[in-house]
Amino acid sequence: MKKIIVMIEAPSSDKKHHAKLLSQKLGYKHFSLEDIIAEEIKNKTKIGLIMEKYSNSNISAPDEYPMMLMKDAIINLKEEGIVFDGFPQSVAQAKSLDSFLFSRKTNKPIPVLFDSEQAIVSSNEYKNIAMHESVISLYDSKMKLVADYYDAVAIKINTSNKSVDQNIEEIIKCL
């Protein structure tokens, strides 16, 4: 049975790098919601045009649109598994993903939660306090709810004083 892994990390915590490396090591497909949306916009697909309107207005798109993209990714999956980064972005998306996988007789996703405080603090991208506080606020208001939703069943990785490779090896051992 195919495995679906969702990477839940704080914004700008190198989630994409972790997801790419994990997918390479496991031979899984890597899907970045950000990249898929950018490709849809570039190709001017119907959903891309809708997502572009939301991204240009700095308003979050309704959950149904990212879900459509991720469902397509799962339906068309040929590899043994998939690693999502940047998805789910809300509890509603997480629940919708669970329901969709159940309807396809696929196991629930395997969430991987990273120590969010460490991930945020270690980010080199945030050099000023206001921007750093903005990122923490975004994480606290949105992704923390997703992390809480998955908390009881998640693989939890403490990133303190460990390299990305060490984090990936720890995840693989837990699978």
Helix (H, G, I), strand (E, B) or coil at 128: coil
Instruction: Give me 11's structure tokens.
Output: 């914004």
Residue 138 has pLDDT above 60, yes or no: no
Contacts 24+ apart (CB under 8 A), 40-45: 40/69
Q: Tell me how many degrees the CA angle 124-130-136 measures, rounded to the nearest 5.
A: 70
Residue 15 has pLDDT above 90, yes or no: no
Q: pLDDT tens, 23-61?
A: 999 999 999 988 999 999 999 999 999 999 988 887 888
Helix (H, G, I), strand (E, B) or coil at 155: strand
Residue scoring higher pLDDT (129 or 48): 48
Omega within 30 of 0 (cis) for the link into 88: yes
Q: Over pLDDT 90: what percentage of the chain?
A: 49
Range 3-174: architecture per CATH:
3-Layer(aba) Sandwich (3.40)
